Chain A
């Protein structure tokens, strides 16, 4: 009965490859997010969807493309991976904005 799940947990890949990270929540929340956490633990919002509609897109390179097939799923596809994309990516969901966001376990992406 995991609340927010992400796959894969670890992703190691070569520069230039394309990869996807999947996220699913079973909490019935309307809003889902993608965050990037760098090696200094800075947690930065990338995207937010509300009921399958993109509502936040925070100056992220267009190599990153989120997709929300339904309000329980928010996937992240990354094209032409670069070294600087190495980070932990967290998916989160919430019923009401910043109040009580539930985070997935994270996906540690390493680009070689």
Chain B
């Protein structure tokens, strides 16, 4: 089977930097993705790591270490609108996508 672990909640202040970690166990691995979901909304894609290293997209960066089965999402210059749930997701054996249980990010003024 496949399982992912990520913190249930993270809080931070505007302008700060926050890191959301994700560890995974899969049989087979094809990549790690991150999605953002605001309350009442749909998940939206943020980033994807297929290989080890850092991917940067504006204020958001994502990192992957396949040898450690670990990745993280880094959010810089936090804004109030970044308050949302963040999900890591992996595609493991048989190309079955599995999502983590989500991290609720609360940004305070």
B87 to chain A minimum Cβ distance, whole angstroms, is 6
> How many residues in B have their beta carbons less than 8 Å from beta carbons of A?
25
B44 touches A99 (CB 8 A): no
Q: Which of B87, B95, B97, B102 has the most CB of A within 10 A?
A: B97
Asked if A101 and B94 sit within 8 Å, CB to CB, the answer is no
Restricting to A73-101, which residues have a CB under 8 Å from any CB of B? 90, 92, 97-101
CA distance in complex: A44, B101 (Å): 9
List residues of chain A with CB under 8 Å of any chain B CB.
Answer: 33, 40-45, 48, 55-56, 58, 90, 92, 97-106
Closest to B48 in A: A99
Cα(A101)–Cα(B37), bound, Å: 13
Q: What CA separation (Å) do A55 and B93 show in the bound complex?
A: 12
Report whether B91 and A97 are in contact in the complex, using a CB–CB cutoff of 8 Å. yes
**Closest B residue to A108 using CB positions:** B40
Chain B 16-34 interface residues, beta-carbon cutoff 8 Å to A = 30-31, 33
A103 touches B31 (CB 8 A): no
Q: Using Cβ atoms and an 8 Å threshold, which residues of chain A touch B85?
A: 41
